[in-house]
């Protein structure tokens, strides 16, 4: 079993991946600055994984709060810290050797990235560089990176293969493509005298849903921009209607088609990726994580209504800037290299997202 460092583990995808990794038997150190994550997410993860809280401590600086859970030989530590600060990251390497880092910490809102590009280059690119530098200082060279299908921009062919051109169309996508380039340079850098890097760039399609318990899920800050959190808010009466962005796309029903992947399938994909890297010689893997199936906005609305017995009023509106008609993964390389594929369907996605929303209508801020 490995000791893994999870940056951004208190966020949406990170928290679900922490649970999957704990259930696989690994021990974890999580670092998060809580800018968009919650201690409560990790508390719930520890509870679901059957770990007991051991202690909570604070150093002289408030930034360095720490929480510890344990069960038998397995442990989970949460550190409050900023990935852009070497001293904060170094804390994670202090008490144990870290076998691999899964790097989720980052900023992810496309529209915000257009308004504040420097923040995105700072956290996503400079932050990733800092994580890699501290890893190298500590002789840890196994790295799983949260990339995004957004690096493909307006892909010309679907399903989208990893060989499709990388041509992002917004600053957020540019920062993901830049980190991928940094990782390719790093993978190519090691000489015969140095141990090589083991790297996976995982390009997620549309992560959605929540753990089946309803105890952890997506907790968007302010008004959500993604489809499923908005559908939940409409279904619960927090918003009058869903605005469907475009009904004249070149798709069967005219609405946008996406490859929605259940967040627990995605979490398990990370488990498969890190175990594959640790078991194989140094390499760089670039993999799509998606289901390979596309669903339109109206199919999602209908699936949600049918599965949950709710009503989701909607209005057909004009297209949203920057959207494309169809984005669907070709997930065959991930299947063959990791022995991983998605297993949860659209009904499961809708059921789990709704359970989380009903149990936590205000997210973690209860």
Query: What does the longest C-alpha to C-alpha distance in the chain come to?
Result: 63
Question: In the complex with ligand WQD, which residue's Cβ is closer, 306 or 320?
Answer: 320
Q: Which stretch binds ligand NAD (CB under 6 A): 100-108, 248-256, 326-334, 335-343?
A: 100-108
Sole binder of ligand NAD in the list 13, 98, 235, 277 (CB under 6 A): 13
| Residue 243 Cβ vs ligand WQD, minimum distance, rounded to whole Å | 5
Q: What sign results for the dihedral spanned by CA atoms 130, 135, 141, 142? A: negative
Based on CB atoms, which residue is closest to ligand WQD, 9 or 207?
207
Give the per-residue contact string, 114-153, with ligand NAD (x = CB under 6 A; - = no): ---------x---x------------------x-x-----
Tell me: does residue 332 bind ligand WQD (CB under 6 A): no
Of the candidates 81, 127, 159, 256, which one interacts with ligand WQD according to CB under 6 A?
256
Radius of gyration of the chain (CA): 20
245 is an active site residue: no
Q: Name which of ligand NAD, ligand WQD, none residue 258 binds, using a CB cut-off of 5 to 8 Å depending on partner kind.
A: ligand WQD
Q: Which of 187, 19, 5, 198 is nearest to 97 (CA)?
A: 5
Q: 261 vs 284, which CB is nearer to ligand WQD?
A: 261
- By a kind-dependent CB cut-off of 5 to 8 A, residue 292 interacts, out of ligand WQD, ligand NAD, none, with none
How is 14-31 classified by DSSP, letter by letter?
Answer: HHHHHHHHHHTT-EEEEE
Catalytic residue among 152, 172, 204, 260: 172
Residues 214, 360 contacting (CB under 8 angstroms): yes
Q: Helix, strand, or coil here: 351?
A: helix
Applying CB under 6 A, the span of 36-44, 49-57, 187-195, 225-233 interacting with ligand WQD comes to 225-233
Cα 88 from Cα 82, distance rounded (Å):
6
Minimum CB separation of residue 294 from ligand WQD in Å reads: 10
DSSP-derived letter for residue 149 is: G
- Shortest spacing between CB 165 and ligand WQD, in angstroms: 17
Q: Is 247 in the site for ligand NAD (CB under 6 A)?
A: no
Total residues at interface with ligand NAD (CB under 6 A): 26
Contact 179, 144 (CB under 8 A): no
What does 110 interact with, of ligand NAD, ligand WQD, none (CB < 5 to 8 A by kind)?
ligand WQD
Instruction: With residue 176 as reference, give the H or E element that holds it.
Output: helix 171-187
CB count in 10 Å sphere of residue 332: 14
- How far lies 219's CA from each of 10, 37, 59, 68, 210, in Å? 11, 8, 28, 23, 10
* Region of 252 on the Ramachandran plot (φ > 0 left; ψ -120 to 50 alpha; else beta): alpha
**Binding-site partner at residue 36 among ligand NAD, ligand WQD, none, CB < 5 to 8 Å by type:** ligand NAD
Query: Six-digit token pair at 152?
Result: 């493909």
Q: With respect to ligand WQD, which residue has the nearer C-beta, 122 or 213?
A: 122
Q: Kindly state the smallest distance separating residue 64's Cβ from ligand NAD, in Å.
A: 13
* Sheet arrangement for strand 295-296: 295-296, 257-258, 326-327
Dihedral (Cα; 174, 176, 181, 182), 10-degree rounding = 120
Instruction: Output the residue with the shortest Cβ distance to ligand WQD.
Output: 256
DSSP states along 87-144: HHHHHHHHSS---EEEE--S---HHHHHH-HHHHIIIIIIHHHHHHHHHHHTT--EEE
Least Å from the CB of residue 143 to ligand WQD: 18
Catalytic residue positions, numbered: 172
- Per CB under 6 A, residues contacting ligand WQD are 108, 110, 148, 150, 206, 225-227, 230, 242-245, 256, 258, 297, 320, 323, 327
- Per CB under 6 A, residues contacting ligand NAD are 8, 10-14, 31-37, 82-84, 104-106, 108, 123, 127, 146, 148, 204, 207
């Amino acid at each position: 079993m490995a000791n893994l460092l999870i940056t951004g583990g208190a966020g949406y995808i990170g928290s679900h991946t922490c649970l999957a990794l704990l259930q696989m038997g690994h021990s974890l150190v999580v670092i998060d600055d809580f800018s968009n994550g919650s201690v409560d997410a990790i508390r719930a993860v520890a509870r679901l994984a059957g770990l007991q809280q051991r202690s909570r401590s604070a150093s002289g600086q408030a930034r360095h709060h720490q929480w510890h859970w344990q069960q038998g030989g397995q442990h989970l530590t949460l550190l409050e810290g900023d990935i852009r600060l070497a001293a904060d990251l170094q804390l994670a390497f202090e008490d144990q050797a870290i076998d691999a880092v899964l790097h989720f910490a980052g900023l992810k809102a496309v529209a915000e990235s257009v308004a504040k590009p420097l923040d995105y280059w700072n956290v996503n690119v400079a932050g990733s560089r800092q994580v890699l530098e501290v890893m190298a200082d500590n002789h840890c060279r196994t790295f799983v990176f949260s990339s995004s299908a957004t690096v493909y921009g307006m892909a010309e062919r679907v399903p989208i293969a990893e060989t499709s051109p990388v041509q992002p169309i917004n600053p957020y996508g540019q920062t993901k493509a830049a980190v991928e380039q940094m990782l390719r340079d790093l993978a190519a850098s090691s000489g015969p005298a140095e141990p090589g890097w083991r790297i996976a760039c995982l390009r997620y399609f549309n992560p959605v849903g929540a753990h089946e318990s309803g105890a952890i899920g997506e907790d968007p800050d302010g008004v959500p921009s993604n489809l499923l959190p908005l559908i939940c808010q409409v279904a619960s009466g927090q918003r009058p209607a869903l605005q469907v962005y475009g009904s004249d796309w070149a798709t069967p029903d005219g609405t946008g088609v996406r490859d929605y992947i259940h967040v627990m399938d995605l979490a398990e994909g990370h488990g498969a990726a890190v175990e594959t890297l640790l078991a194989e010689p140094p390499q760089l893997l670039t993999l799509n994580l998606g289901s390979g199936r596309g669903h339109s906005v109206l199919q999602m609305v209908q699936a949600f209504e049918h599965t949950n017995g709710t009503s989701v009023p909607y209005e057909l509106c004009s297209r949203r800037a920057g959207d494309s008609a169809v984005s669907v993964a070709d997930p065959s390389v991930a299947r063959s290299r990791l022995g991983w594929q998605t297993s949860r369907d659209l009904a499961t996605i809708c059921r789990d997202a709704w359970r989380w929303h009903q149990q936590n209508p205000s997210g973690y801020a209860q």
